[in-house]
Amino acid sequence: MTEHVQESEMFNSVQEVLDKLRPFLLRDGGDCELVDVEDGIVKLRLLGACGSCPSSTITLKAGIERALLEEVPGVVEVEQVF
């Protein structure tokens, strides 16, 4: 399997997990956008209330990253991009 296909499949798997988490973010006035997946690093942009929330780092690392590490093989880290 080529690296591009693997990253494409990982991108889709990450998107599925984010879709499951999205209602919790929306409930608090926020959201997230999947920007890219490269070498197991998921790049997310936090939107709405999540973008300016003081707890956004905790949401990103303790919530989103933990879920992705558990559910998507190959994910090694989640980074916030602006």
Burial class (CB in 10 A: 0-12, 13-18, 19+), 57: exposed
**What pLDDT score does 68 carry?**
97
Number of domains in the chain: 1
- Domain, as residue range, for 47: 3-80
pTM, rounded to two decimals? 0.90
**What pLDDT score does 1 carry?**
52
- CATH number (domain holding residue 7): 3.30.300.130
What residue ranges of the chain have pLDDT lower than 70? 1-5
